[in-house]
Amino acid sequence: MSTARLFSARLRTVFEDVGHWALSTRAGLKPSRRLPQQASPRLLSVGCADHAKRQELPGKKPLSEKKLKRYFVDCRRVLVCGGNGGAGASCFHSEPRKEFGGPDGGDGGNGGHVILRVDQQVKSLSSVLSQYQGFSGEDGGSKNCFGRSGAVLYVQVPVGTLVKEGGRVVADLSRMGDEYIAALGGAGGKGNRFFLANDNRAPVTCTPGQPGQQRVLHLELKTVAHAGMVGFPNAGKSSLLRAISNARPAVASYPFTTLKPHVGIVHYEGHQQIAVADIPGIIRGAHQNRGLGSAFLRHIERCRFLLFVVDLSQPEPWTQVDDLKYELEMYEEGLSERPHAIIANKIDLPEARANLSQLRDHLGREVIALSALTGENLEQLLLHLKVLHDAYVEAELGKGRQPLRW
C-alpha cells in the first residue's frame, strides 16, 4: 500500500474514533444539557468569536479628577547637562613613498545643546524628566576627518513656562515657538593638524573635548488664557465652563472638586476663539498659602481679564467679591484691577432671586445673573466675554504687541 493511502486510512480511523466518542458522550448527557447535533460546530465557532470579543481590551476610560491631579505638574526641578565635545586626534599621514606626510588628526565634534521648546499640545510639566543629558560629539579621526557634532536635544514644555535659576527668572516661554537654550554643549577638542606651524612641522599635541554646561533649573507653569474664572469653592465655575465650552472638568457637590486648572475654548463667528481658564477655588487667606494657596494663584497672573463667579444662593454674596479682590491684591499688586466682570451664578434657586437686587445695589455696577445648570442667560455672558476680548485685542495692538491667539 502506498504511503498516501496508508496516511488517509489512518486519518479516517482517527475521525471515526472521535465521532464514536462524541456520540457516547452525547448519550450520557441529560436532555436539558444536550446541544443540537447539526448546530454544534457553528455554535462552537460563534462562542469562540464572542469570547475573543470579550477578551479585547476596552477603550480608555476618562480619568477622574483625583487621578488627573496626579498627572498635572506645574513645578519641576530639572538638571540639564549639555553634550560633551569629542576629543581631537593625534596621527600622521601615512602613504607609500611619502616619508614626511605631516599631521592629519581631525578635530572632535561639538556637544549638542539642550533646548526648551514650547509645544501647545503639552498641558503640564508631568512629561518633563528630572534630568537631561545632551548628545556628545564624536572624536576626530585620521585623514583630517572631523567628528560629528552631537544632535540638539529638545525638551517640550507647555505654553506659559517660567524658567528660573537660583530664584531669578531667566526665560519666560509664553508664546508658541519660543525656545531657550537650557545647557550649551561642550566644544570639540583640536587635533594635531590644528597645531601645525612653521616652527613645529610635526606636532603631536591634541586636546580633549570640553564638558557640556551643567545647570539646575526650576520650571514653573502659569496657565495662559484670555479669561480666568475666579471664585470660592462650589461657586459653579466648572459647571459654567462646561456650559460655554467643550471642556469637561469634574463637577460634584463637595468643595475643591477642581484640583487643577482647566482651559476651555469658546468659539465665535469668523473662527475667533477665546480661552477661558477655570482656576481652583480660592478661600480667605489664600495669599498666605491656605487651602490650595498660592500654588494656583499664580495661574491667574497670565489671564488678560477676570470673571468673578459669585454663588448667589449664599447670604451677603457681595462679600465674596470683596474677599476675592482682596486675596488677588495681596498676592500681586494691581491684579484685582484688571478688566473683569461679575457673574452671579445659581439664579435658578429660589433664595438667589432675592439676593440679586442687593448684590447690584452694593456693587453699583452691572452683574450678569445666570444659571450654569439650566443655561439661563448664558448669551449675555458670551456677549460680554466678546466685548472684553475685543477691548484686550485693541489695547495690545495699540501698544504694538500681538495679542494672544489660540
Locus of grid cell 500500500: 1
For the four alpha carbons of 189, 194, 196 and 202, in that order, the dihedral sign comes to: positive
Q: What mean pLDDT value characterizes the chain?
A: 79
Domain ranges of the chain: 71-222, 225-399
Give the confidence band of 108 by pLDDT, cuts at 50, 70, 90.
very high
pLDDT of residue 12: 52
Distance CA 10, CA 403 (A): 84
Give the confidence band of 139 by pLDDT, cuts at 50, 70, 90.
very high
- CB 229 within 8 Å of CB 277: yes
What does the pLDDT look like over 342-366, one tens digit per residue?
Answer: 999 988 888 888 888 888 888 888 8
pLDDT of residue 96: 81
The fold for domain 71-222 equals Spo0b-associated Gtp-binding Protein; Chain: A, (2.70.210)
The arithmetic mean of pLDDT across residues 98-108, rounded, is: 86
For the four alpha carbons of 113, 115, 121 and 127, in that order, the dihedral sign comes to: positive
Give the confidence band of 62 by pLDDT, cuts at 50, 70, 90.
low
Give the confidence band of 138 by pLDDT, cuts at 50, 70, 90.
very high
CATH number for the segment(s) 225-399? 3.40.50.300
Range of 20-29, 208-217, 323-332 with top mean pLDDT: 208-217
pLDDT of residue 71: 57
- CB 144 within 8 Å of CB 115: no
The arithmetic mean of pLDDT across residues 204-212, rounded, is: 93
Whether the full predicted model's pTM is greater than 0.85, yes or no, is no
The arithmetic mean of pLDDT across residues 289-295, rounded, is: 59
Strand, coil or helix: 392: helix
